[in-house]
Amino acid sequence: MGKMDRDIERVLISEEELQRRVAELGAEITRDYADKENVVLVGILRGCYVFLADLTRHIDLHCRIDFIAASSYGKGTSSSGQIEIKKDLTDPINGAHVILVEDILDSGNTLAYLAQILQARNPASIRIATLLDKPSRREKSVKADYSGFTVPNAFVVGYGLDYAEEYRNLPYIGVLKPEVYEKGE
């Protein structure tokens, strides 16, 4: 057992389950966009990076990748509701079929805000792919077009998801022990 594993209450989604579902999502996107050109995967940093890297290897299409960084968490465990763009897209998306790739759809505040901002840039379409969906915390009416797993209202880390910028490198999704984040609040 590694040092970080001791902070995990339980494994929620194993490495094997993650890999299987990400491959299925890649196949779905490949089918849905088979007749489209100018597909752009927009990763929402930082949490998406592991999911996006694995997902792109399962998408058999010509596509571009870009990133946007937005934050509504800071060092806390719940969304503040105040969205801050920390890094904007590098290239224009007008006329593109955009797939926003997110690690977790929680309150929906960040995705609602980003979808609105990006829609103003005249893409051909915008869809959302999220690894995790936590509908019990939804504040905005946002629905993922591609969703890996529905998770309970617990603080999850691993596979790109963090607490205070740590635990992203765990190969699975785990529930963080409350005593770990309660001491930091």
Q: Is residue 20 part of a domain?
A: yes
| Domain count for the chain | 1
| Residue 157, beta-bridge partner list | 174
54 is catalytic: no
Which one has a higher pLDDT value, 86 or 184? 86
Q: Is residue 4 part of a domain?
A: no
Q: Which of 7, 103, 106, 133 is catalytic?
A: 106
CATH number of the domain where residue 29 is located: 3.40.50.2020
Q: Is residue 171 part of a domain?
A: no
Average pLDDT on 157-178 reads: 96
Q: Is residue 51 part of a domain?
A: yes
Cβ neighbours around 156 below 10 Å, total: 24
pLDDT tens digits for range 10-54: 999 999 999 999 999 999 999 999 999 999 999 999 999 999 999
Is residue 168 reached through a cis peptide bond, with omega within 30 degrees of 0 on the bond before it? no
Q: Is residue 54 part of a domain?
A: yes
Q: Is residue 176 part of a domain?
A: no
Give me the pLDDT at residue 73, please: 53
d(CA 79, CA 109): 8
Q: Is residue 185 part of a domain?
A: no
Q: Is residue 128 part of a domain?
A: yes
Q: Which domain holds residue 93?
A: 15-151
Give the dihedral of Cα atoms 37, 43, 49, 50; nearest 10 deg.
-50
